[in-house]
Amino acid sequence: DTGVSQNPRHKITKRGQNVTFRCDPISEHNRLYWYRQTLGQGPEFLTYFQNEAQLEKSRLLSDRFSAERPKGSFSTLEIQRTEQGDSAMYLCASSTTSDRGRNEQFFGPGTRLTVL
Amino acid sequence: AQSVTQPDIHITVSEGASLELRCNYSYGATPYLFWYVQSPGQGLQLLLKYFSGDTLVQGIKGFEAEFKRSQSSFNLRKPSVHWSDAAEYFCAVGAPPGANNLFFGTGTRLTVIP
């Protein structure tokens, strides 16, 4: 089992550019989550998928952000027209539904985005 | 709405000493509770979790946590700290059922001195 993987691990971009991150969950996990972590803070929830359906989105997920999970496996998070305030660590997690819904989220190593 | 408070930003302990990291939550009912650890440049690793039942929960790496409903707390403890425990520790709360949207505290950074 390789765990949750994220690519790239680091991304440096200029303000106004678009960026896309990829997350590959643990293979048997049907739920996938995106979080954002800024320096000195805990992770903040952005969105989650069950299979290919996006079931919840945070108010933090502005119109410039879009997430997809087209086949219910890997997911992508795209940020359009990046701003310096988007600089953060973007974390992906996955879980599997169990009885009574007590799911545990397993996190990937994250993608660190720096917007210049 | 849920919220989590970790009142200690930074704690320093000597190797071999005991450790307690504080976590207080705000939620209208009994939430699901988690402790995660994050080493520099790494993702979050789950140490332990509480869903229901026994209020003293055992986790990995010798950690335990106790859920106290009356104090809205879920403090993390370890009887003897090892140098490898130096990391950032995050308490998180999730709303049953499912706990899909975890709320995290701001973290406590643990430094271990020889």
A60 touches A34 (CB < 8 A): no
- Cα separation, B109 vs B21, in Å, equals 10
Which ranges of chain B have pLDDT less than 50? none
Query: Does B89 reach chain A within 8 Å, measured CB to CB?
Result: no
**Closest chain A CA to residue B43:** A109
Band the pLDDT of A1: cuts 50, 70, 90: low
Q: What pLDDT score was predicted for residue A63?
A: 92
At A14-72, the pLDDT tens digits run 999 999 999 999 998 999 999 999 998 999 999 999 999 999 888 888 899 999 999 88
Band the pLDDT of A98: cuts 50, 70, 90: low
* B99 contact residues in A (CB cutoff 8 A): 101-103
Q: What pLDDT score was predicted for residue A69?
A: 96
- Cα separation, B98 vs B51, in Å, equals 10
**DSSP, res A100:** G
Query: Does A106 reach chain B within 8 Å, measured CB to CB?
Result: yes
Q: What pLDDT score was predicted for residue A99?
A: 55
Q: Is the Cβ pair A42, B96 closer than 8 Å?
A: no
With a cut of 80, say whether residue A86 has pLDDT above it: yes
Q: What pLDDT score was predicted for residue A101?
A: 60
Q: Is the Cβ pair B104, A43 closer than 8 Å?
A: yes
Shortest CA gap A69–chain B (Å): 16
* B43 contact residues in A (CB cutoff 8 A): 4, 91, 107-110
Q: What pLDDT score was predicted for residue A100?
A: 60
For residue A23, list its beta bridge partners.
A6, A75
